[in-house]
């Protein structure tokens, strides 16, 4: 265990997650929503690494690697969707895509 208390690491993860969540809820530009999602994923990964460091086990870092993998796949598909949305609607406003057809 390092000299940093585990609580403080988890607190940092929680605060970062809260900021990311606020970003998802408040911002209407879909690019910012994606960035906030990245922040939230990163904070979740931070919580795993903190727990792994607490017990000196490699599992935390392994879950971190998996989370990074998922985030990379998510951002690739998400940005492709943003591209399609911008091409069709000429805007990045998430509310513009609120209509469903069918």
Partner 1 sequence: MTIAFYVASAVALFATLMVVTRRNPVHAVLYLMVSLLAVAVVFFTLGAHFAAALEVIIYAGAIIVLFVFMIMLLNIGPPPSTRQESLLLTPGIWVGPSALSVLLAGLFLYVILAGGRSVQAGSYVDAKTVGISMFEIYFLGVELASMILLAGLVGAYHLGKRDLPDEAEGGNG
Q: Applying CB under 8 A, which residues contact partner 1?
A: 1-4, 8-9, 12, 15-16, 19-20, 22-23, 26-27, 29, 31-32, 34-36, 38-39, 42, 46, 49-50, 52-53, 56-62, 64-66, 68-77, 79-84, 86, 88-90, 92, 96-99, 101
The alpha carbon of residue 63 and the mean position of all alpha carbons in its chain are separated, in whole angstroms, by 15
Instruction: Give the separation between CA 33 and CA 36, rounded to whole angstroms.
Output: 5
């Amino acid at each position: 265990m390092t000299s940093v208390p585990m609580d403080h690491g988890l607190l940092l993860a929680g605060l970062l997650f809260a900021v990311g969540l606020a970003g998802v809820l408040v911002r209407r530009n879909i690019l910012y929503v994606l960035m906030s999602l990245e922040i939230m994923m990163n904070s979740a990964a931070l919580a795993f690494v903190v727990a792994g460091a607490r017990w000196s086990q490699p599992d935390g870092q392994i879950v971190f690697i998996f989370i990074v993998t998922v985030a990379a796949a998510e951002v690739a598909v998400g940005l492709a969707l943003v591209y399609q949305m911008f091409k069709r609607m000429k805007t990045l406003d998430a509310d513009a895509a609120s209509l469903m057809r069918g």
